[in-house]
């Protein structure tokens, strides 16, 4: 699972980003010590950093320059500063992308996913495996012991979320919210229909009881 560090001193925005990222299958790191922020980054390596510019102690530009002395981790500036010079400085100092507040959550998630894919494509294949069941993201197929079934777009997104939270109970509300944020517009009833279809497809390839329903809690794989 990808880990994303959010370097943001506004607690409201920090919490908003944390919830957004976690609900989309990312682990989140929230450093608190802005006096030793570089040391914090080195102690908790992440796959990507969301970096504000206006920060206490030292601004995001200096932090970005400091990171680039020891790491090529992807950095997206997420800031209320919106001049051309701010964006130019961000890129010149080693930032990979620049998004202004208030941001569109769908666009932010798309930029994150795109940057992660470009950076880690060779080491994170588009395949997820749990209990011998393999999910192939590139061709929307689920496979077990040589047998496979094709998933629809909604079914694939549901399974990606469940795979990325394997071993944990996933509340139905989290799944619905995740799918809505992915522009798939699935309501609670549609989710039940999709889960039923996925179970039928799993059964067709020899997998039973892979998705467990936890009464009044959600789903678990």
What is the rounded CA–CA span in Å between residue 4 and residue 12?
17
Residues of the chain with CATH 1.10.10.10: 127-220
Helix (H, G, I), strand (E, B) or coil at 19: helix
Which segments of the chain belong to CATH 3.40.50.2300? 3-123
> b/e string for 121-139 if b means 16 or more Cβ within 10 A?
eeeeeeebeeeebbbbbee
**pTM as predicted:** 0.57
Instruction: Look at domain 127-220 and name its CATH class.
Output: mainly alpha
CATH number for the domain formed by residue range(s) 3-123:
3.40.50.2300
**SS3 for 153?**
helix
- pLDDT given for residue 124 in this prediction: 54
Average confidence (pLDDT) per 10 residues, the chain, 221 residues: 90 92 88 89 88 92 92 91 87 91 89 87 70 87 92 89 88 82 70 94 95 92 93
Strand partners, 78: 99
CA atoms within 13 A on the CB side of 68: 15
């Amino acid at each position: 699972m990808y880990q994303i560090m959010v370097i943001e001193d506004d607690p409201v925005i920090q919490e908003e980003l944390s919830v957004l990222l976690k609900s989309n299958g990312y682990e989140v790191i929230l450093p608190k010590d802005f006096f030793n922020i570089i040391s914090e980054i080195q102690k908790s390596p992440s796959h990507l950093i969301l970096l504000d510019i206006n920060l206490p102690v030292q601004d995001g530009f200096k932090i970005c320059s400091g990171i680039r002395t020891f790491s090529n981790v992807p950095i997206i500036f997420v800031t209320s500063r919106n001049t051309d010079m701010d964006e130019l400085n961000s890129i010149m100092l080693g930032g990979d992308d620049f998004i202004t507040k208030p941001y569109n959550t769908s666009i932010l998630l798309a930029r994150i996913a795109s940057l992660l894919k470009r950076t880690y494509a060779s080491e994170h294949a588009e395949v997820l495996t749990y209990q011998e069941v393999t999910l192939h993201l590139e061709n929307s197929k689920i496979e077990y012991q040589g047998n496979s079934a094709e998933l629809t777009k909604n079914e694939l997104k549901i399974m990606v979320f469940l795979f990325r939270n394997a071993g944990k109970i996933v509340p139905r509300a989290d799944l619905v919210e995740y799918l809505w944020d992915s522009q798939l517009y699935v309501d609670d009833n549609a989710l039940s229909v999709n889960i039923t279809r996925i179970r039928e497809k799993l059964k067709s390839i020899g997998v039973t009881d892979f998705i467990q329903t936890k009464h009044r809690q959600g789903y678990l794989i």
